[in-house]
């Protein structure tokens, strides 16, 4: 049995008030449509067709690596019309599942239940019982048998139909050939003048068919995004769900409501995370990692026993076991810290390696450098790695002591065991095991007077 998934993603989303297509707005760091495609692909369908429309080239460009088929809905004539555009691309399929690019949190298990429920019949719909059905189409059932008779959009519903609180989510699965036939008979004589996909339910019933149904685990699974308020509500729901999974995996969260995962976070045992962590891309945390408040970590690997203190920004970095970073440190891409390193407050490290047990504790910039093990880099030290056109390498050997307020003008090498006097500007290699000092001679100017402000006239 072959399965095609048709994803409707042609809507303009006027209420978003954005130049960006609605389905490309982000939830938990990924486009809405990306969430839907991830779920669709988890079902291992034989084909996925995306129906695009408004600013469609943006959508295609962002999703070009997904391996999907594309078809344009040039006129916005309703959901039924949108699905009809995809039918020529799936003529060789047996069944069709229809999803929506702005309904991002639909779960694989829910769709699997729907497909299973409808396996013996021509059509199945996903319905949900809600406290407030406003805005949804209503599922009308036979009061005696409970069989589904039809779906009525709110604008077309009468007083008795409006009190029904079982709603049609719009998600359905059907035999392709039967759906093709029903779509060809859709009419637009309704309040919105559109071809409603949901009208195929009544057509199936008129032909004597039973309409199967299934329900989602929660209403958020089938909640659509029409404006930024709804997007924010789903963001908080998604983040809470991610936080709960972290806690099930053994992570201690100081406040589950104050963590934002905008990518993927992998954790070892006994990880502790304080408030307001933002995770982007893929982040891997080892066991017994501790992260302080108000940190951003992006695409980084952090080994066992690392302590990240408050206010750190870590992106594209690797941190070795037992290290301590922060507070208020920044590790930029290709920063690599070995084991038991210390990187302190207001330190920035970029494209550099820091060896075992080395310390860069205060007010320092290290860029394009190789720092050995057991090195102490004094406060205010900088590597002058850029000459205005090119970057150059600084190499510091093991067991070097660099005094405060030193400038290392690359390319330069400081030999093993060397000591650099505070306030030095090192623009030639410093030999191993020796004290190197490079300062201007200190001069006292006798009788010099500090300028004073002129009196006001």
pLDDT tens digits, one per residue of 3-31: 999 999 998 889 999 999 999 999 999 99
How many Cα atoms are found within 13 Å in the side-chain-facing hemisphere of 96? 25
Residue 97 has pLDDT above 80, yes or no: yes
Q: How confident is the model at residue 82 (pLDDT cuts 50, 70, 90)?
A: very high
In order of 261, 300, 370, the CA distances from 296 in angstroms are 10, 11, 25
Angstrom distance (rounded) from CA 328 to CA 309: 8
As given in the structure block, the two tokens for residue 322 are: 């037992």
Peptide bond before residue 411 is cis, with ω within 30 degrees of 0: yes
Please pick, among 35, 44, 54, 362, the residue that the annotation labels catalytic.
362
Q: How confident is the model at residue 189 (pLDDT cuts 50, 70, 90)?
A: confident
- Which of 38, 50, 60, 56 minimizes the C-alpha distance to 5? 50
Query: Average pLDDT in the 68-90 region?
Result: 95
Residue 343: its H or E element: strand 342-345
Q: What is the pLDDT of residue 337?
A: 98
248-273 pLDDT, tens digit each: 999 999 999 999 999 999 999 999 99
In order of 224, 229, 251, 404, the CA distances from 135 in angstroms are 11, 15, 39, 66
Distance of alpha carbon 159 from the chain centroid: 43
Angstrom distance (rounded) from CA 284 to CA 268: 8
Give just the sign of the alpha carbon dihedral 60, 64, 66, 69: positive
Q: How confident is the model at residue 190 (pLDDT cuts 50, 70, 90)?
A: confident
Going along the chain from its start, the domains and CATH numbers come out as 3-222 (3.90.550.10), 249-436 (2.160.10.10)
**How do strand 26-27 and strand 348-350 relate by DSSP bridges?**
unpaired
Lowest mean pLDDT among 71-80, 236-245, 344-353: 71-80
- If one compares 453 and 327, the residue with the highest pLDDT of the two is 327
Q: How confident is the model at residue 212 (pLDDT cuts 50, 70, 90)?
A: very high
- If one compares 455 and 111, the residue with the highest pLDDT of the two is 111
3-class SS of residue 207: coil
Give the ranges where 150-306 is alpha helix by DSSP (H).
159-162, 176-183, 199-206, 228-248
Rg (CA), the chain: 31
- Average pLDDT in the chain: 95
As given in the structure block, the two tokens for residue 350 are: 């970029």
362 is catalytic: yes
DSSP assignment string, 348-376 = EEES-EE-TT-EEEES-EEESEEE-TT-E
Query: Average pLDDT in the 376-395 region?
Result: 96
Determine what percent of the chain is predicted with pLDDT higher than 90: 90
Query: Average pLDDT in the 358-365 region?
Result: 97
Residue 317 has pLDDT above 80, yes or no: yes
Residue 425 has pLDDT above 80, yes or no: yes
100-127 pLDDT, tens digit each: 999 999 999 999 999 999 999 999 999 9
Determine what percent of the chain is predicted with pLDDT higher than 70: 100
pTM as predicted? 0.90
Query: Average pLDDT in the 21-46 region?
Result: 97
């Amino acid at each position: 049995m072959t399965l095609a998934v048709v994803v409707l993603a042609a809507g303009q989303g006027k209420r978003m008030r954005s130049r960006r297509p609605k389905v490309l707005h982000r939830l938990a760091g990924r486009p809405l449509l990306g969430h839907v495609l991830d779920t669709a692909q988890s079902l291992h369908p034989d084909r996925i067709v995306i129906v695009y429309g408004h600013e469609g080239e943006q959508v295609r460009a962002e999703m070009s690596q997904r391996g999907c088929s594309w078809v344009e809905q040039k006129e916005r004539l309703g959901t039924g019309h949108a699905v009809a555009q995809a039918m020529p691309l799936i003529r060789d399929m047996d069944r069709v599942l229809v999803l929506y690019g702005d309904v991002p949190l639909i779960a694989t298990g829910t769709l699997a239940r729907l497909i299973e429920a409808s396996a013996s019949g021509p059509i199945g719909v996903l319905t949900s019982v809600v406290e407030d059905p406003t805005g949804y189409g209503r599922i009308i059932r036979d009061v005696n048998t409970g069989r589904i008779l039809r779906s009525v959009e709110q604008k077309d519903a009468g007083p008795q139909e409006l009190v029904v609180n079982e709603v049609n989510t719009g998600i359905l699965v059907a035999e392709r050939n039967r759906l093709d036939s029903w779509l060809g008979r859709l009419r637009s004589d309704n309040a919105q003048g559109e071809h409603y996909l949901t009208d195929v339910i009544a057509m199936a019933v008129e032909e004597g068919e039973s309409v199967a149904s299934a329900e989602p685990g929660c209403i958020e699974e089938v909640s659509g995004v029409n404006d930024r308020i709804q997007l924010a509500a789903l963001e908080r729901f998604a983040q809470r769900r991610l936080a709960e999974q972290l806690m099930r995996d053994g992570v201690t969260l100081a406040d589950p409501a104050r963590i934002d995962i905008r990518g993927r976070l992998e954790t070892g045992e006994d990880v502790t995370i304080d408030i307001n962590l933002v995770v982007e891309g893929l982040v891997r945390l080892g066991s017994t990692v501790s992260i302080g408040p108000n940190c951003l970590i992006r695409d980084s690997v952090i080994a066992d026993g690392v302590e990240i203190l408050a206010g750190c920004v870590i992106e594209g970095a690797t941190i070795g076991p037992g290290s301590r970073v922060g507070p208020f440190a920044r590790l930029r891409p290709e920063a690599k810290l070995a084991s038991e390193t210390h990187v302190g407050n207001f330190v920035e490290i970029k494209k550099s390696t820091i060896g075992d047990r080395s310390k860069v504790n205060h007010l320092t910039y290290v860029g394009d450098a190789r720092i050995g093990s057991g090195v102490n880099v004094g406060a205010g030290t900088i590597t002058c790695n850029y000459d205005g056109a090119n970057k150059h390498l600084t190499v510091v050997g093991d067991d070097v002591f660099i005094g405060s307020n030193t400038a290392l003008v690359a390319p330069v090498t400081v030999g093993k065991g060397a000591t650099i006097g505070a306030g030095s500007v090192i623009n030639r290699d410093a030999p191993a095991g020796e004290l190197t000092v490079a300062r201007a001679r200190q001069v006292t100017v006798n009788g010099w007077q500090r300028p004073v402000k002129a009196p006001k006239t």
